[in-house]
Amino acid sequence: MTLIGKIFTYLILIMSLVFMTVAMTVYATHKNWREVVKGDGAGNQGLEKLIAEQKSIASALQDQNEKLQTKLEQERAARAYAIAALHARTKLQDVELLNLSQANERLVKSEADMKTLLELAETNSKNLKTEVDGLRADIKVAQTDRDSTFKDVVALTDKLQQYKVEQDRLREREQELAKQTARMKRVLTAFGKDEFTPVDGIPPELYARVTAVNDNNMVEISVGSDDGIQKGNTLDVFRGQTYLGRIIIKQTAPDRAVGEIIREYRRGLIKKGDHVSTNLG
């Protein structure tokens, strides 16, 4: 074999080794893309299943986002309603404050008049004392006048105190009337009425419950004179759809009333918590 033949032989051997190395490298780095996409069946998930799971998660997140958006809109609407209610209440309180301020001004003026009368009475007392010093001969008459003036001062002082007590009572009564007026206005508004709506002959339609029952056929209910209940009104008592009887009102208070069970209408035992229909007769 010549030198050139040997060289070619070595070249062929070297190229064979190179090609074998390249083939082994290609085989080692080869991927089965079908298994990558579909999975290899040995517990490894493919890209197709992972994409489906991600789409499911994205859909759930979208639904959750829509629910949160709906809840947010509801909360915004509720907050707007609450703000409007607060504005209305503020206006009512402003009106009430104005009325109280006017009443207070009248009371302050009355108190100032009483102070003026008291100062006048004290001035008269001083004048009488001076006259007693100058008219010793008429001391008995002066003493009598002084005593009379002192009694007047005491009477005026007592009257001033009475006016202060009456002022406090009138303030409390004014607050009670303002609250009662606000409650009545809410009731009228709830029924679509106002202070000019004629109500003669129209009985109130209210809902109440029995709050107490005693052994003397007497029943207490949760509505009273502030709700339009009057002595002599008759009310029907129910438990669910069962008619239990009828009561007639014997006594009323602002927030409750007491009635007597009418024996002729009794159809069952009336207990605490039963419903009362105020379709009054």
Share of the chain above pLDDT 70, in %: 84
pTM score above 0.95: no
- Other Cβ atoms within 10 Å of 280 Cβ, number: 18
β-strand pairing of 275-277 with 234-239: antiparallel
β-strand pairing of 218-221 with 242-252: unpaired
Check residue 36 and give its pLDDT. Answer: 60
User: What average pLDDT does the chain have?
Assistant: 82
Q: With a cut of 70, which residues of the chain have pLDDT below it?
A: 1, 27-47, 142, 187-188, 190-204, 279-281
CA atoms of 29 and 139, how far apart (whole Å): 139
DSSP per position, 178-233: HHHHHHHHHHHHHTT--TTS--TT-----EEEEEEE-TTSEEEES--GGGT--TT-
Taking every pair of C-alpha atoms in the chain, what is the biggest distance, in angstroms?
181
Q: Residue 125 — φ and ψ, nearest 5°? A: -65, -40
CA atoms of 268 and 256, how far apart (whole Å): 23
β-strand pairing of 234-239 with 257-261: unpaired
Q: Considering the domain 207-277, what is its CATH architecture?
A: Beta Barrel (2.40)
